Amino acid sequence: MELSVVVSTLNDREQLLSCLDALHDATPSSTEVVVVNGPSSDGTTGMVRDREDVDVLVEISERNPNVSRNAGLSVATGDVVAFLGGEYAVEPGWYAAVERAIHDGADVVTGPITGEDRFDAGDPSTPRTIAGREVTLFDGDNVAFDRTVLEALDGFDEYLEGDGARDCAHRVARLGFDVDWAMEMAARREVGTDGGKTEPDWGVTYRALGYRLAKNYGPRPTVFARTVGSAIRDGAVSVRGIVSGEATPTDWLSNGTDVVANAAAGLRDGVRARYSDRSARRNPNGLSVRHDRAVRVYDRR
């Protein structure tokens, strides 16, 4: 297995140190490591350039994680490409789990991230059925692909500011590729966290939800029902926050307005995207669309 690992980072210098150290210890020296940085202002560039175990450093100007992943993919050369968040450190059995799954025929393999909640509900290793299609979710900060899968997908959809991996999971399922869940392919958040939970950006979340459902399944009743149902559930949780004193009615109304406006915009843009790319990959904003992501590339290969 010729493995490339694309590590995306943004102002996470201390966490990135732990991430790269763990990769160095857990993977063979033949592993190609690509760091995509940007736009960081914490000295990440100098630190990465001083390390001999990083093969390529790509500097970008956008904060979109899907742009970062595509920028790394564009310079990676391995026949297996893994994506790892720069704030996570892989466990010692990570490489062996990837190698075993790929050897056994997996198209995509993913594993758990410990130290924080990464999925909103349910077991991510259990497929979900959406419009008759079984979809296995995976985390974009800890996943490896056979390169042929990424070529078929044309990478990640850069319209999305977040949840690009969820959109990718729907497209993986549509193309008939298998996703393998390996508990041994674990990564952990090791430093730089206080154990708190970041309040979600409801506008970004619901724009992404509306977009990926409409793009992947079309304007069908199931899409609208899932979007509305999700909004009702999240609204109910927020009401409990008002009752407990953790939120205010003003916040609830403001969040609700953001949800409605962005869900509608996402549904609209998703329908447009669906008909602008009628191919099975459903990716009008993918890797092949542009070639100007990198501001600068430091390549020591």
pLDDT band at 197 (very low <50, low <70, confident <90, very high): low
User: What share of the chain in percent tops pLDDT 90?
Assistant: 77
pLDDT band at 121 (very low <50, low <70, confident <90, very high): very low
Alpha-carbon span 75 to 277, nearest angstrom:
25
Res. 194: pLDDT tops 60: no
The mean pLDDT value for 226-243 works out to: 83
Alpha-carbon span 23 to 110, nearest angstrom:
16
pTM for the model stands at 0.92
Residues 6+ away with beta carbon under 8 Å from 256: 235
The mean pLDDT value for 115-143 works out to: 79
pLDDT band at 124 (very low <50, low <70, confident <90, very high): low
Short-list 36, 38, 31, CA closest to 6: 36
- Residue-wise pLDDT tens digits, 252-291: 788 889 999 999 999 999 999 999 999 999 999 999 999 9
Q: 113-114 and 294-299 as β-strands: parallel, antiparallel, unpaired?
A: unpaired
Alpha-carbon span 280 to 258, nearest angstrom:
31
Cβ atoms of residues 12 and 192 within 8 Å: yes
